[in-house]
């Protein structure tokens, strides 16, 4: 069993200090096996914002897998945006834009979907699709997770959302590589679902999990939150831990069990959230 903290959209430059401190305390108390940050560490990709993000990540538990988001590409500094869009990210956060983490139970691949020419939207390149295919060959029977900043599925009952570009090209590779979970951010909304509801031709059940904004004041009708994911070979549970004004606490609980038909959502028992780690 592995316990993963999935945080996203820190947006240094718009961080709420008490929420950021609360997240540090919560993660240190829970001691995850892995911290995954799915992009947008800064608001405007400024040097000072990256320095603050760097210092903050150093306070969070290790190991970590971090990828950039579109806000980590300069918007108003046009020359830097097109000539060296992620130079500061590489300097302060991580040199690898498509990182990898693996242990005996987990195989996690991060893909940078931030692009200079489509600043708000994002996409996966053909080269990344091939990179992903090559990496998944080595994954074996471990639980497989792919992390992007931009989402593969829209929020429930929503339309007009820009999903990650070239998703249709990546889905067959994800299915062939037996990927189990997709983690993303970007929308500042938390939700989860099987990709087959949006990609009915997918031959594999894959759970897409979105994280809200962890520490930024740029919330969208949801509290600051992150996902606490308990990953087992045949069961995945997702607990949304949300800021209640004083601390992060369980808010919503979703579980999926592996069956012969793929991942199936379970109906949580009454009080299931309260029984999770607090």
Mean pLDDT of all residues belonging to the chain = 91
pLDDT band at 220 (very low <50, low <70, confident <90, very high): confident
Q: What is the pLDDT of residue 159?
A: 66
For residue range 92-147, list pLDDT tens digits in order: 999 999 999 999 999 999 999 998 765 567 999 999 999 999 999 989 889 999 99
User: Is this prediction's pTM over 0.75?
Assistant: yes
pLDDT at 277 over 60: no
Sequence-separated (6 or more) residues with CB below 8 Å from residue 96: none
Please report how the helices 126-137 and 167-176 are oriented relative to each other, as an axis angle in degrees rounded to 10. Answer: 10
Return the closest-CA partner of residue 115 out of 102, 128, 101: 128
Residue 38 contacts residue 68 (beta carbons within 8 Å): no
Q: How many CA atoms lie within 13 A of 65 on its CB side?
A: 28
pLDDT at 77 over 80: no
Q: What are phi and psi of 121, to 5 degrees?
A: -80, 175
- Tell me the domains of the chain and their CATH numbers: 2-275 (3.60.21.10)
CA torsion, points 189, 191, 192, 195, in degrees to nearest 10?
-50
Average pLDDT over residues 21-41: 98
pLDDT value at 272 more than 60: no
For 116, residues 6+ apart whose C-beta sits below 8 A from its C-beta are 73, 81, 82, 85
């Amino acid at each position: 069993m592995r316990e993963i903290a999935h945080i996203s959209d820190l947006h240094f430059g718009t961080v709420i200090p008490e929420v950021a401190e609360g997240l540090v305390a919560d993660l240190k108390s829970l001691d995850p096996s892995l911290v995954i940050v799915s992009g947008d560490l800064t608001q405007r990709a400024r040097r000072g914002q990256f320095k603050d993000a760097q210092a903050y990540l150093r306070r969070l538990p290790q190991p970590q897998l971090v990828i950039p988001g579109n806000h980590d590409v300069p918007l108003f500094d046009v020359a830097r945006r097109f000539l060296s869009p992620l130079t500061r990210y590489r300097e302060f956060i991580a040199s690898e834009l498509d990182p990898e983490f693996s242990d005996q139970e987990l195989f996690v691949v991060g893909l940078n979907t931030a692009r200079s020419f489509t600043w708000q939207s994002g996409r996966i390149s053909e080269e990344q699709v091939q990179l992903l295919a090559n990496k998944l060959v080595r994954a074996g029977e471990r639980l497989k997770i792919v992390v992007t900043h931009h989402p593969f599925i829209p929020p429930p009952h929503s339309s007009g959302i820009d999903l990650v570009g070239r998703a249709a090209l990546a889905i067959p590779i994800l299915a062939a590589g037996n990927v189990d979970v997709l983690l993303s951010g970007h929308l500042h909304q938390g939700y989860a679902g099987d990709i087959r509801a949006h990609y009915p031709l997918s031959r594999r059940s894959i759970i897409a999990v979105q994280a809200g904004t962890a520490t930024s004041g740029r919330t969208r009708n949801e509290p600051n939150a992150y996902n606490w994911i308990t990953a087992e070979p045949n069961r995945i549970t997702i607990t949304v831990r949300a800021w209640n004004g004083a601390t992060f606490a369980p808010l919503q609980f979703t579980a999926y069990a592996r069956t012969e038909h793929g991942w199936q959502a379970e109906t949580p028992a009454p009080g299931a959230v309260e029984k999770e780690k607090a």
